[in-house]
Amino acid sequence: MLEAMVDPSELAPERIRPLSRREYDRMVDLGMFEDEHVELLRGTVVTMSPQGEHHGGVVAWFSQRLTLALGMSRQVRPALPFAADEWSEPEPDVAVCTYDHGVHDHPTKTLLLIEVSQTSLRKDRGLKLQIYAKAGVPEYWIVDLTTLTVEVYTQPSPTGYASVQHLRDGDLLRPTQLPGVELPVAEIPR
């Protein structure tokens, strides 16, 4: 059994070498992570939590509702990679993008990212939020399955988001980059 990862301070003055997104993509292309659900966050390959039934149902609901609302005007990408920067390629639960990336490329720009979260709240509110803000993602939602609320982050900067709203039953989700789209929080599957 694998022991705990090395604490970087135990290696000083040496350091752990991060993987670039290009290296990671090449490893994926070679089938190195075929039986694993992983993503690249700040140069580190991170295993992802398995998706439970409730999580999967909520991801499907958002994907379907956004696809119906947007038609072919935008691309709705459930659980697919987002090329955030040279060192990060997270796989948000839902991404809404334009069609300006190549068919063989992961998008580097997005209009909205959604993470459906229960066991990954700490990572989604911390590391992923920082990666998305630094990448200039204009709007990021965390759907908290433990409280059935949605955290809406807008106004990204290199250090985080300047604005956060907490929406609950009775509120409408209105993506800032998708005029005319309205999703009632109360209709998110329970």
pLDDT for 9 equals 85
Separate counts of helices (H) and strands (E) for the chain? 4, 10
pLDDT for 3 equals 61
Where do the domains of the chain lie, and which CATH numbers do they carry?
A: 51-187 (3.90.1570.10)
The string of pLDDT tens digits covering residues 31-90 is: 999 989 999 999 999 999 888 999 999 999 999 999 999 999 999 999 999 999 999 999
| Nearest in space to 128 (alpha carbons), one of 85, 174, 76 | 85
CA dist 22 and 34 (Å) reads 17
Question: pTM of whole model > 0.85?
Answer: yes
Mean pLDDT over the full length of the chain = 94
Residue with tokens 């990408």: 77
Instruction: Give the pair of three-digit tokens for residue 154.
Output: 């807008």
Helix (H, G, I), strand (E, B) or coil at 26: helix
CA dist 40 and 47 (Å) reads 9
